[in-house]
Copies of this chain bind each other. A is one copy, B any other.
């Protein structure tokens, strides 16, 4: 039997495709430190579970396609803390940030249209683009430049009559890059001058280090009708399994059209929405502690990497990822080898090979993405394994 060409062309997730090797290693009793996936180990706030405990409907019925009012209100309140004022109909609850991105693409792109994305980029953007029939045109950024954007003119060279949006995550997954005011202004100007949208994936908004002030594209009032925020509670509240995100935009036509997509899939899981609505009650201390913890880990991992021969990365300022160059030809082979052939005291470590985060053939082949989502003790062990493994691998 046949399958579609588009689905055949879809890459397997570089974050998840080596999971079977990890499972095999574990079945043989090996411990695997998972630095391949952005799954925080921080506790999900009690407020989430408490709201669910208090849920006492007898019939678990469809909720509103747009999302339950309590959750929409809580998003509105949350954005107010970033000086962004949304109306009730500006926010549409989605199945995680994932669906928010898919819906945004469907709303502004027709089949065969193009979007610009700085690469390396969150690998699942590929999946959503394939599903939506949208061509990803990468804006190449490089490890040696700390993944800074190229010049305005270099970016504009990539724009064609089919370009409908620039999509980017800020802070960036997988690089940890936080775009500067100047870079954001370039993107803004390009969007205005070429009449395209900015799809801003800001799920790591809370994780900006070194005292940098965080800027959201939604705060740029002069372009509020061309900014579509895609957001998620997954990272900031360590609630990845809830699959609660949203599309938020001041562009009423976009939100009206996205609502049709929301209606076609009826609603988002009700109980997880109820839980998520409770998160607005979470204290600032929770966020502050998580922030401090990640900052410590960032320093730990970055310092450890500096101490490994042939490893290169600039210090990232945000999110909880570092994309680092390794002294190997093929990082995926190395990661496989870590899982199948290497251990220290029966322990090994798993990373995401970074090649899958690039759209340009061959780029990032010697890079890995490290998610620093484990506690210090585990991170220390994992970094030691990486260091020793590189020496062993290059013998």
Contact = CB atoms under 8 A, between A and B. Distances in A.
Interface of A: 1-8, 10-13, 16, 37, 39-44, 48, 52-53, 58-63, 65, 95-96, 98-99, 102, 106-111, 113, 124, 126-128, 131-133, 164, 195, 197, 225-226, 238-244, 251, 253-254, 257-258, 260-261, 263-272, 275
Given A3-B107, A52-B52, A243-B267, 11 more contacts: A1-B251, A13-B264, A16-B65, A42-B59, A60-B238, A95-B95, A95-B243, A95-B269, A127-B260, A268-B269, A269-B269
8 contacts: A1-B197, A2-B164, A37-B62, A99-B265, A126-B264, A127-B264, A243-B269, A270-B272
Nearest to A129: B264
Contacts of A3: 107-108, 253-254, 257
Contact of A263 (B127, B133, B242): B127
Contacts of A240: 60-62, 266
Contacts of A98: 264-266
Nearest to A125: B264
Given A61-B241, A96-B265, A7 B270 contact: no
Nearest to A53: B53
A6 B257 CA distance: 10
